[in-house]
Amino acid sequence: MEKRVAVLPGDGIGPEVIESAVKVLEVIGRRFEHTFEMNYGAIGGTAIDTCNNPLPEETVALCEASDAVLLGAVGGPKWDQNPSALRPEKGLLAIRKHFDLFANLRPVKAVPSLLHASPLKEKVAKNVDMLIVRELTGGLYFGEPSRHTEKSAVDTLVYTREEIERIVEKSFELARLRKSKVASVDKANVLESSKLWREVVEEKKKAYPDIEVEHMLVDSTAMKLITNPGAFDVIVTENMFGDILSDEASVITGSLGVLPSASIRADGFGLYEPVHGSAPEIAGLGLANPAAAILSAAMMLRYSFGMNEEAAVIEEAVNTVFEDGFFTADLVEPGKRVLSTKEWTEKVIDEI
């Protein structure tokens, strides 16, 4: 197959980890006889510096001409004092909205060889294997009015039935490929938008009798993610709750540095990026963990290109390297040898 990938390295450690992911994609391409045509574009702080726009038109055009987008990370203190429109994360929000990337998928799975880095007791963290499905283009993030004066401020949490339907359906479809359990998270005891959300879930589940559906409140979910995270399979929720809960979930297994994410559109086009941030304090030092970026590339193969076997090969290679005891600085245990970003990537490539 021939696929075009828009590569947006972004800021901080973004370029380093993306370099690793690109290398891995090239190796996969050779082994499975695919051609990945990679074209680079600017986003975030780097794009502000060069084009005065966190999402330049050229980048949009590049993505439109591609089959998927691979992104590093955006942001950094350099741009923190910028006005709203010139902040790196605006690029991220704009690309999500422009390409209608309504479904954000964040798998969190315990890796036995990384549990030492988990803040949770091993018995609590060890069975974690969940997929958080976050609505990404609606709710408080994009609702109008959204403005403030000196005296007061307003944001608007708005959802249409269609917006809820498509994300709920997506979560049911994804649950079918897993343990067929969905926890739909809302705040239906307070919010009207959550009541509509719950109605839609009740309606949609009729067409999915094989899926076990549970409604949970966002506050109880925030607790259960710590007390019994192994009980979750798929979690589906709206944009803001998903932002908070997926970040909470990302640290429970000690493997934040290795978590990938996908943000996809109905037709399979998608944007793939590590969950971790741009970590400007360690940028350029070869300390970054490229696992999340590499696994994001694997998600791209699976969800946008239908290359399930290729994705599995990458995931297994990453797992084996961890099991063999090779770690970058973020995960290494005292006294063990630290591998650089490049060295660790070479280990993965050797496995493939």
Q: Is 49 a catalytic residue?
A: no
Residue with Cβ nearer a second copy (185 or 301): 185
Pattern 241-270, binding to ligand IPM, x per CB under 6 A? --x---------------------------
Q: Are 69 and 272 in contact (CB under 8 A)?
A: yes
At its nearest, how many Å lie between a second copy and the CB of residue 204? 14
Q: Is 187 a catalytic residue?
A: yes
> Is position 161 an interface residue for a second copy (rule: CB under 8 A)?
yes
Task: Write down the residue that tokens 């959802």 correspond to.
Answer: 159
Residue with Cβ nearer a second copy (243 or 351): 243
Per-residue burial over 342-352, b = 16 or more CB atoms within 10 Å of its CB, e = otherwise: eebbbbbbebb
**Which residues have a Cβ under 8 Å from the Cβ of 169 and sit 6 or more positions away?**
204
Pattern 177-216, binding to a second copy, x per CB under 8 A? ----------x-xxxxx-xxx-x-----------------
**What is the DSSP pairing of strand 270-274 with strand 260-264?**
antiparallel
Q: If we measure between CA atoms, which residue out of 248, 252, 320 comes closest to residue 291?
A: 320
Total chain residues near ligand IPM (CB under 6 A): 7
Residue with Cβ nearer ligand IPM (90 or 170): 90
At its nearest, how many Å lie between ligand IPM and the CB of residue 204? 25
Q: Which tokens in the block code for residue 289?
A: 């963990």
> Is position 190 an interface residue for ligand IPM (rule: CB under 6 A)?
yes
**Which residues have a Cβ under 8 Å from the Cβ of 168 and sit 6 or more positions away?**
184, 200, 201, 204, 236
Rounded to the nearest 10 degrees, how much is the dihedral formed by the CA atoms of 23, 27, 29, 30? 140
> Is position 155 an interface residue for a second copy (rule: CB under 8 A)?
yes
Q: Is 243 a catalytic residue?
A: yes
> Is position 263 an interface residue for a second copy (rule: CB under 8 A)?
no
* Site residues (vs ligand IPM, CB under 6 A): 89, 92-93, 189-190, 219, 243
Task: Give catalytic residues, as residue numbers.
Answer: 141, 187, 219, 243, 247
